[in-house]
Amino acid sequence: MLLNLLLTFTFLMVGVKSDPDSLQDYCVFLPPLSHQQIFINGVLCKDPTQATVSDFKTSALSRPGNTHVKPFMINVTVTTTANLPGLNTMGLTMARLDFGASGTVPPHVHPRASEVTVCLDGVLLVGFVDTSGRVFTQELHPGETFVFPKGLIHFLYNIDTVCSALAVSGLSSQNPGTQIVSLSSFIPKSPIPEEVLKSAYDINGHKVC
Ligand X SMILES: *[C@@H]1O[C@H](CO)[C@@H](O)[C@H](O)[C@H]1NC(C)=O
61-69, 89-97, 139-147, 149-157 -> range binding ligand X (CB under 6 A): 61-69
Residue from 28, 45, 75, 96 touching ligand X (CB under 6 A): that is: 75
CA quadruple 129, 130, 136, 139: dihedral positive or negative?
negative
Is 69 among the residues that bind ligand X (CB under 6 A)? yes
Q: Does 66 bind ligand X (CB under 6 A)?
A: yes
For ligand X, what does the binding mask look like between residues 21 and 60, x meaning CB under 6 A? ----------------------------------------
Q: Which stretch binds ligand X (CB under 6 A): 33-41, 64-72, 122-130, 177-185?
A: 64-72
- Select the span of 21-29, 42-50, 63-71, 192-200 touching ligand X (CB under 6 A): 63-71
Phi, psi of 196 (to 5 degrees): -65, -45
Name the minimum Å distance from CB 113 to ligand X: 20
Q: Please, which contacts does 40-43 make with residues 24 or more away whose CB atoms are closer than 8 Å?
A: 42/88, 42/89, 42/174, 43/81, 43/88
* Nearest distance, CB of residue 21 and ligand X, angstroms: 33
Name the residue nearer to ligand X (CB basis): 20 or 177: 177
100: nearest Cα among 78, 69, 62, 61: 69
Q: Say whether residue 170 binds ligand X (CB under 6 A).
A: no
- Shortest CB 77 distance to ligand X, Å: 7
- N-term to C-term CA, the chain: 51
Tell me the site size for ligand X, rule CB under 6 A.
Answer: 4
Task: From residue 206, give the alpha-carbon distance in Å to each of 21, 80, 110, 184, 203.
Answer: 49, 43, 31, 21, 6
Q: Considering the rule CB under 6 A, would residue 79 count as an interface residue with ligand X?
A: no
Distance in Å, CB of 65 to ligand X, minimum: 3
The Cβ-side half-sphere exposure at 115, using a 13 Å CA radius, reads 31
CA-closest candidate to residue 90, choices 139, 138, 39, 21: 21
Residues that bind ligand X (CB under 6 A): 65-66, 69, 75
